A = this chain, B = another copy of it.
């Protein structure tokens, strides 16, 4: 694993081949059918306040992640993200590096938490990775993903709190005489 940096326009033709391979494999993502390099581009390159990054090894783009608010308006304090790692580079720690980067970005950007809306339950390497990075499975929506090999499988909703404000509450719970954080 080399660098993780913000994606620029010239990166999209280098992301698209593994994006297309991963979506086409039918095992992990619910994107529209029949996407082309042009129609998929706005679905992956996030405008501000979101952003898209690439992971590189030397000159090669080996993975990408997009991130931003999970909902607009009164839900915009919760972040979400999506990840793609070139299948040729799986097992190199690319997913973990992107995950750590994204969580760090969201925390630094002041998001209160991060939610993954649809992690395919049979994608166990991803589920384990997100758990290792602090996410928990809140629920599994049953039969919500039509897996190319397994048929209808569940989609995990995963969540991690990022704000450290709850520490203030824990201190407060000890009682008012123990001092109020300033």
Judge whether A115 is part of the interface by a CB distance below 8 angstroms.
Answer: yes
Known pairs A70-B144, A142-B159; list 16 more (Cβ under 8 Å): A29-B73, A30-B74, A33-B73, A74-B145, A74-B147, A74-B148, A75-B145, A75-B146, A75-B155, A77-B152, A78-B141, A113-B142, A113-B143, A117-B117, A138-B140, A157-B157
Q: Which of chain B's residues have a CB closer than 8 A to the CB of A37?
A: none
The answer, among B112, B138, B144, for a CB contact under 8 Å with A113, is B144
The answer, among B30, B139, B145, B148, for a CB contact under 8 Å with A157, is B139
Q: Is the CB of A141 within 8 A of B155?
A: no
Judge whether A161 is part of the interface by a CB distance below 8 angstroms.
Answer: yes
Q: Which of chain B's residues have a CB closer than 8 A to the CB of A71?
A: 30, 118, 144
Identical chains in the assembly: 2
Q: Which of chain B's residues have a CB closer than 8 A to the CB of A140?
A: 138
Judge whether A76 is part of the interface by a CB distance below 8 angstroms.
Answer: yes
Q: Is the CB of A143 within 8 A of B112?
A: yes
Q: Is the CB of B115 within 8 A of A73?
A: no
The answer, among B30, B72, B73, B112, for a CB contact under 8 Å with A76, is B30
Q: Is the CB of A74 within 8 A of B138?
A: no
The residue in chain B whose Cβ has the minimal distance to the Cβ of A77 is: B146
Max count, chain B CB within 10 A of own CB: residue among A29, A70, A143: A143
Q: Which of chain B's residues have a CB closer than 8 A to the CB of A112?
A: 143, 152
The residue in chain B whose Cβ has the minimal distance to the Cβ of A27 is: B74
The residue in chain B whose Cβ has the minimal distance to the Cβ of A140 is: B138
C-alpha spacing A155/B76, complex, angstroms: 13
Judge whether A31 is part of the interface by a CB distance below 8 angstroms.
Answer: yes
Judge whether A26 is part of the interface by a CB distance below 8 angstroms.
Answer: yes
Given contacts A31-B72, A73-B32, contact A139 B142 (CB under 8 A): no
